[in-house]
A = this chain, B = another copy of it.
Amino acid sequence: MARPRTRTLVYDAVLSLATEERLGSISMEGVAARAGVSKQTLYSTWPSTGAILFDALLDRSSSDDGKIVVPHSGDLAADLESLVAATIEELTDPTLEPLLRAVTADIQIDEVLAAQYRDRLLTPQLKAISDRLQRGAIEDPDAAAELLLGPILHRWLLRTRAFEPGWASAHVQRVLRATANCAVQVPPHTGNQ
């Protein structure tokens, strides 16, 4: 509904606020003030701050630079490793982390937002990874994709542990071993190097 010019102002406002402010404190009023836009204008397009954050995130990820693409060289393990690294990078990027956390918090509370988030960001992302795995002759690519992302998000969302250097590589090995034909694709497990 809002004009492109207005949308840009709002996205910029909400992104800067998400970075500066304490995390729970993003408010419609604050966004309106920062964007130099009236509250009514906000409400005529978005029902909540969560919705604005989400749209801002979508806008960012549909622009060229904000995209995580699944690499496709010949080497499956190397591709997955670089994907994991890029994901971790994004999750811990000081600009993005607050945004992603805010949206994740909203998802717990707002089912509509959760559905949009799932359909427009998460499912495509899982699909892309799954496709890459299938082309790598992994037999159950969907499960493998979940095995790959699950532990990463477990650490990040529940804040149980930071990502140690070297972990990504070991993690990819484990995932491949879990779902590949054991004897052929990966050498038997000989301990955590």
Contacts and interface: CB of A to CB of B under 8 A. Distances in A.
A80 to B, nearest CB: 13
Interface in A100-157: 101-102, 104-111, 114-115, 117-118, 122-123, 126, 139-140, 143, 146-147, 149-155, 157
B105 A108 contact: yes
B178 A140 contact: no
A7 interface: no
A160 interface: yes
A contact patch SS: helix
A4 interface: no
Copy tally for this chain in the complex stands at 4
A154 B146 CA distance: 8
A191 B180 CA distance: 9
28 contacts: A101-B108, A101-B109, A104-B157, A104-B158, A107-B159, A111-B159, A122-B160, A126-B160, A139-B191, A140-B189, A143-B171, A143-B174, A143-B192, A146-B151, A147-B174, A150-B153, A150-B154, A151-B151, A153-B157, A154-B154, A177-B178, A177-B179, A177-B182, A179-B189, A181-B188, A181-B189, A182-B182, A182-B183
Given A104-B157, A143-B170, 13 more contacts: A24-B109, A101-B108, A105-B109, A107-B158, A114-B158, A126-B160, A139-B192, A140-B174, A146-B154, A150-B150, A150-B151, A150-B153, A181-B188
